[in-house]
A and B are shown apart, each in its own frame.
Chain A
């Protein structure tokens, strides 16, 4: 189990940031990912592996409207 934006989310072995974003349907282009407080750049999404128990924050940046 991992945390995604403070809520529990099932983890699976080999899960990358890209997998998580796809699973959660986080399609918005303008997001920031932090894992255990550390920023993950967009170019790393494909291969950065999330570990069981990680605390993932996916910040959608628009405060817009």
Chain B
């Protein structure tokens, strides 16, 4: 099906020590397909994965480029460790582009088989530039060295249908289906700015296509703007050493040790193999960290209805190995099988729902005041198949619901939809509207930053209130953790380069509960080390979860248990064993910092990435409303007494809220100063030439951006 528009034959490069040494470039405007050499310079400065993505992206765009400019690229890369099968979590693909929500580089990662199969097909990275005239599919056949671009007008859009169809079409038979992986989005991606990418893998036991998502920042929206319906890769012949590692014996040894820990300890620790990341929902609620009703509070008595046990006992299939790449014994990619849909175009069908992950239950559940597991699974399914980032969706709808309840918007604006907290059918209808590009759903798909402007300018809403309760920074919606009582995590979100996602730093327990980082300097050190360390997963193609969602039984004896030193050493050993290099744990941080600072300078080049762009909405820092203050009155009154020497008994509620706000905003300013110093930035948030020189990144292209701003 579909006319072939272009064919390109190539000789798949042999992979040596984790790199094929080649990257693939496709320009859809003129159907140009080229091969590029991955240089030693790229490996030294950018390592791979997200580093390669950002390097290619920088060279493709100008400061004027926006998400829908033809020169904007989607770049993806799996990194040098990607695809090894002896350790857990080694199949992550990193994707980068200029985001429609933020206008700066976004990066997002996904499991599934696409990235490793792409590398084994001969490509360390894949750049897609330009725009096709009509809907197309790009197919890469890694065994036969063939790339095809073909018309795809007649293919469906929604991922669960499209990926199933393409997997069957490109596989020779049932056994061959595991060798095919599809990247696609869905019908809502082209009507919203929060489109995601689904990365598929075929599950031979369930006989169905499963998905992991590169969800953040609107990558699916860009895919559809380029008129790409899907990317398909096929590679048959996965064997244990396709990376041609320098020292396979060490990888095997480290892998066996790790798998034993997983086998012995997971049931005593986080139960990742039973429920996946959603294991933390009750814990977050008990520690006042589960964002509830647009981050107003950190939990709710009704959370028991969406507790992990409910999903384990009533919805999720147990006992199947749910790894999203070969060799992952953490196997956290859980799903609900034979789920009966009750709304939308697929109502009445039984489907497999991938998830729910923590963000899904927290975001589509508690943050919307929806404590109904069936509704959450249905929202989860539709977000995925329609190609909607459920984090941006949930945080945006939570904002809309609060605006509705505070009478900033009303039924006249929403087309009659009663968008109140807890209204699951209204949330689902909004999603279906987004998929059809209709009504208030289409507006909601613009995300919080644009909605604030529309609500104020066109609907007469209160601008100050909306600034305080709209949970976005840099244009990206917050991930699903309530964090007002952790100053370090306030910075972890708002000072994250791409926007408030928790993959840079999750410091809430260290800061708020353990009190391990009491001073500004302590917090700044944590906001240096963890973002740098966690960046590294994205450079090499690894999943973060196996690092600290299980820890060795003697981890408590180490001086820095939060860093999980044994697992860090595993990563150093595996990196050296694959690449033949000789790095240590400090070099690992250096590799990360080079890319981290590069990305910050990239943001500066695109017009963001300065102090003004690092401010959170006040709800991130403290109580906006009287109800929020009263929900933690004892704590806040104590803080007024202890930290500001005030007598709360003599103050009105408004005075208390105002005084606390002044204090907390000042604390955040001091945190910014400390973090900027620690990261080697000016007080305006610009990396200094001296810092860039220290880490070997004083490249002329970077100095040209930062020097005028010193």
A residues with CB within 8 A of B: 5-7, 25-30, 32, 39, 57-65
Per-residue contact bits, chain B 271-300, to A (CB 8 Å; 1 contact, 0 not) = 000000000101100110000000000000
Interface status of B326 (Cβ within 8 A of chain A): no
Report whether B506 and A65 are in contact in the complex, using a CB–CB cutoff of 8 Å: yes
Contact of A5 among B506, B514, B530, B548 (CB under 8 A): B514
Q: If the complex has contacts A5-B515, A6-B518, are A65 and B561 also in contact, measured as CB distance less than 8 A? A: no
Distance from A10 Cβ to chain B, minimum over Cβ atoms (Å): 14
Distance from A7 Cβ to chain B, minimum over Cβ atoms (Å): 7
Per-residue contact bits, chain B 490-509, to A (CB 8 Å; 1 contact, 0 not) = 00000000000011011111
Query: Which of B269, B514, B564: most chain A CB closer than 10 A?
Result: B514
Interface status of B556 (Cβ within 8 A of chain A): yes
Nearest-neighbor residue (CB-CB) of A41 within chain B: B556
A13 CA to B286 CA in the complex, in Å?
A: 27
Report whether B513 and A60 are in contact in the complex, using a CB–CB cutoff of 8 Å: yes
Report whether A59 and B556 are in contact in the complex, using a CB–CB cutoff of 8 Å: yes
Question: What chain A residues lie within 8 Å of B287 (beta carbons)?
Answer: 25, 28
Question: What chain B residues lie within 8 Å of A26 (beta carbons)?
Answer: 513
Report whether B549 and A64 are in contact in the complex, using a CB–CB cutoff of 8 Å: yes
Interface status of B678 (Cβ within 8 A of chain A): no
Report whether A7 and B509 are in contact in the complex, using a CB–CB cutoff of 8 Å: no
Interface status of B481 (Cβ within 8 A of chain A): yes
Nearest-neighbor residue (CB-CB) of A32 within chain B: B556
Q: If the complex has contacts A30-B270, A32-B556, are A59 and B283 also in contact, measured as CB distance less than 8 A? A: no
Distance from A21 Cβ to chain B, minimum over Cβ atoms (Å): 12
A32 CA to B549 CA in the complex, in Å?
A: 15
Q: If the complex has contacts A27-B286, A32-B561, A58-B514, are A63 and B506 also in contact, measured as CB distance less than 8 A? A: yes
Interface status of B524 (Cβ within 8 A of chain A): no
Nearest-neighbor residue (CB-CB) of B563 within chain A: A63
Report whether A28 and B283 are in contact in the complex, using a CB–CB cutoff of 8 Å: yes
Interface status of B562 (Cβ within 8 A of chain A): yes
Q: If the complex has contacts A5-B513, A7-B515, A32-B561, are A64 and B506 also in contact, measured as CB distance less than 8 A? A: yes
Nearest-neighbor residue (CB-CB) of A26 within chain B: B513
A52 CA to B316 CA in the complex, in Å?
A: 47
Report whether A60 and B502 are in contact in the complex, using a CB–CB cutoff of 8 Å: no
A18 CA to B199 CA in the complex, in Å?
A: 45
Given A60-B513, A61-B562: 10 more A-B contacts, CB < 8 Å: A27-B286, A28-B286, A61-B548, A61-B561, A62-B270, A62-B548, A63-B510, A63-B564, A64-B506, A65-B503
Question: What chain A residues lie within 8 Å of B639 (beta carbons)?
Answer: none
Q: Which 3 A-B pairs have the closest CB atoms?
A: A65-B506, A60-B509, A65-B502
Contact of B509 among A25, A29, A39, A63 (CB under 8 A): A63
Report whether A63 and B562 are in contact in the complex, using a CB–CB cutoff of 8 Å: yes
Question: What chain A residues lie within 8 Å of B481 (beta carbons)?
Answer: 65
Report whether A64 and B561 are in contact in the complex, using a CB–CB cutoff of 8 Å: no
A57 CA to B513 CA in the complex, in Å?
A: 10
Q: If the complex has contacts A64-B506, A64-B549, are A29 and B269 also in contact, measured as CB distance less than 8 A? A: yes
B residues with CB within 8 A of A: 268-270, 280, 282-283, 286-287, 479, 481, 502-503, 505-510, 513-516, 518, 530, 548-549, 551, 555-557, 561-564
Nearest-neighbor residue (CB-CB) of A27 within chain B: B286
Distance from A37 Cβ to chain B, minimum over Cβ atoms (Å): 12
Report whether B506 and A59 are in contact in the complex, using a CB–CB cutoff of 8 Å: no
Nearest-neighbor residue (CB-CB) of A4 within chain B: B515
Nearest-neighbor residue (CB-CB) of B279 within chain A: A29
Q: If the complex has contacts A27-B283, A30-B269, are A63 and B514 also in contact, measured as CB distance less than 8 A? A: no
Nearest-neighbor residue (CB-CB) of A30 within chain B: B269
Question: What chain B residues lie within 8 Å of A59 (beta carbons)?
Answer: 514, 516, 556, 561
Distance from A59 Cβ to chain B, minimum over Cβ atoms (Å): 5
A63 CA to B533 CA in the complex, in Å?
A: 12
Nearest-neighbor residue (CB-CB) of B271 within chain A: A29
A10 CA to B503 CA in the complex, in Å?
A: 37
Nearest-neighbor residue (CB-CB) of B561 within chain A: A61
Nearest-neighbor residue (CB-CB) of A63 within chain B: B562
16 contacts between A and B (CB under 8 A): A5-B514, A25-B287, A30-B551, A57-B514, A58-B514, A61-B548, A61-B556, A63-B506, A63-B530, A63-B562, A63-B563, A64-B280, A65-B479, A65-B502, A65-B505, A65-B506
Nearest-neighbor residue (CB-CB) of A57 within chain B: B514
A25 CA to B508 CA in the complex, in Å?
A: 16
A27 CA to B502 CA in the complex, in Å?
A: 23
Q: If the complex has contacts A29-B269, A30-B269, A32-B556, are A61 and B551 also in contact, measured as CB distance less than 8 A? A: yes
Question: What chain A residues lie within 8 Å of B505 (beta carbons)?
Answer: 65
Nearest-neighbor residue (CB-CB) of B562 within chain A: A63
A49 CA to B397 CA in the complex, in Å?
A: 49
Question: What chain B residues lie within 8 Å of A32 (beta carbons)?
Answer: 556, 561
A64 CA to B237 CA in the complex, in Å?
A: 35
Q: If the complex has contacts A28-B283, A30-B269, A65-B481, are A60 and B563 also in contact, measured as CB distance less than 8 A? A: no
Question: What chain B residues lie within 8 Å of A61 (beta carbons)?
Answer: 509, 548, 551, 555-556, 561-562
Q: If the complex has contacts A27-B286, A28-B287, A32-B556, are A62 and B509 also in contact, measured as CB distance less than 8 A? A: yes
Query: Which of A25, A61, A65: most chain B CB closer than 10 A?
Result: A65
Question: What chain B residues lie within 8 Å of A6 (beta carbons)?
Answer: 515, 518
Nearest-neighbor residue (CB-CB) of B508 within chain A: A65
Question: What chain A residues lie within 8 Å of B479 (beta carbons)?
Answer: 65
Nearest-neighbor residue (CB-CB) of B560 within chain A: A63
Contact of A64 among B268, B282, B286, B548 (CB under 8 A): B548
A30 CA to B287 CA in the complex, in Å?
A: 14
Q: If the complex has contacts A29-B269, A30-B270, A39-B556, are A60 and B514 also in contact, measured as CB distance less than 8 A? A: yes
A30 CA to B506 CA in the complex, in Å?
A: 16
Query: Which of B513, B557, B563, B564: most chain A CB closer than 10 A?
Result: B513
A61 CA to B551 CA in the complex, in Å?
A: 9
Distance from B351 Cβ to chain A, minimum over Cβ atoms (Å): 29
Question: What chain B residues lie within 8 Å of A5 (beta carbons)?
Answer: 513-515
A65 CA to B280 CA in the complex, in Å?
A: 9
Report whether A25 and B556 are in contact in the complex, using a CB–CB cutoff of 8 Å: no
Distance from B495 Cβ to chain A, minimum over Cβ atoms (Å): 15
A64 CA to B280 CA in the complex, in Å?
A: 10
Question: What chain A residues lie within 8 Å of B507 (beta carbons)?
Answer: 63
A26 CA to B518 CA in the complex, in Å?
A: 20
Question: What chain A residues lie within 8 Å of B508 (beta carbons)?
Answer: 65
A34 CA to B209 CA in the complex, in Å?
A: 47
Question: What chain B residues lie within 8 Å of A62 (beta carbons)?
Answer: 270, 280, 506, 509, 548-549
A20 CA to B510 CA in the complex, in Å?
A: 19
